[in-house]
Amino acid sequence: MDIDKKVWEVLCSEEDIAARLTALGKEISDEYRDKKLYVISLLRGSFVFTADLVRKLDIPVKIDFMTTSSYGHDTESSGTVQIVTDIKENLEDYHVLVVDDITDSGLTMKFVMDHLKTKNPQSVKSCVLLDKPERRKVEIVPDYVGFTIPDKFVVGYGLNYGDYYRNIPYVFVVTDQDR
Ligand code: 5GP
């Protein structure tokens, strides 16, 4: 697919995202106000979301990044998730919030949460900008969701298409011009 020859349909505008993140930031701050929060962001897709979200928190927070990989088709998790870069710090005193760009099949989030639980943190919850519940292969309901979206391939605001477009400041779907 040559993305430049397609129509970009904005799904979540910059304004939509900013407003939703303000609300999410308040909700998360209220929940973790008396707890030691550790945000663990999954690279690379969630770097934009994480950077904006953590600046909406009004509580102390530690932040680190994990890299996972999944083998298979470009636009889909294959079912085999691997941890490329793990968290090195001892998490036992912390409440962990895993932040990702999107939950699609749910395989990545489930695998990462199960992995982090083996490090015996106080709790492990999940926060995703986008949730595509129609696509689930494993049972998982993210604890915090920015937007629930239909089963469409989305790009922008950290999400890539062929390693590009992560810098586009809104989320869009690509459709055919003559649709
Ligand atoms: P899951 O393991 O839930 O199937 O997928 C998680 C990862 O697949 C996401 O972190 C993201 O990198 C990729 N992914 C899933 N759906 C989309 C999509 O619609 N657009 C893009 N760009 N990536 C997606």
Q: What is the pLDDT of residues 127-160, one digit of tens each?
A: 999 999 999 999 999 999 999 999 999 999 999 9
> What is residue 175's predicted lDDT score, i.e. its pLDDT?
78
> 32: pLDDT confidence band, cut at 50, 70 and 90?
very high
pTM for this model (two decimals) = 0.93
Work out which ligand 1 atom sits closest to the CA atom of 104. Answer: 3
3-class state of residue 42 by DSSP: strand
DSSP at 161: B
> Ligand 1: which of 3, 44, 48, 77 to mutate, most ligand atoms within 8 Å of CB?
77
Cα–Cα distance measured from residue 69 to residue 47, given in angstroms and rounded to the nearest whole number: 15
More confident residue, 17 or 77: 17
Cα–Cα distance measured from residue 42 to residue 100, given in angstroms and rounded to the nearest whole number: 5
Give me the CATH topology for the region 13-150: Rossmann fold (3.40.50)
Find all residues with CB under 8 Å of 103, minimum gap 6, and list them. Answer: 109, 126, 128, 130, 131, 132, 140, 142
Here the ipTM equals 0.97
Annotated catalytic residues are 104
Q: What is the pLDDT of residues 90-100, one digit of tens each?
A: 999 999 999 99
Q: What is the pLDDT of residues 73-86, one digit of tens each?
A: 555 556 789 999 99
Distance 93 CA to ligand 1 centre (A): 30
Q: Tell me the helix, strand and coil percentages in the chain, rounded to 5.
A: 25, 35, 40
Strands 171-175 and 154-155: antiparallel
Dihedral Cα 105, 61, 26, 133, nearest 10 deg: 0
> What is residue 72's predicted lDDT score, i.e. its pLDDT?
55
> Ligand 1: which of 11, 159, 164 to mutate, most ligand atoms within 8 Å of CB?
159
pLDDT over 70 (residue 174): yes
Average pLDDT of the residues of the chain:
93
Q: Where are the domains of the chain?
A: 13-150
> What is residue 144's predicted lDDT score, i.e. its pLDDT?
98
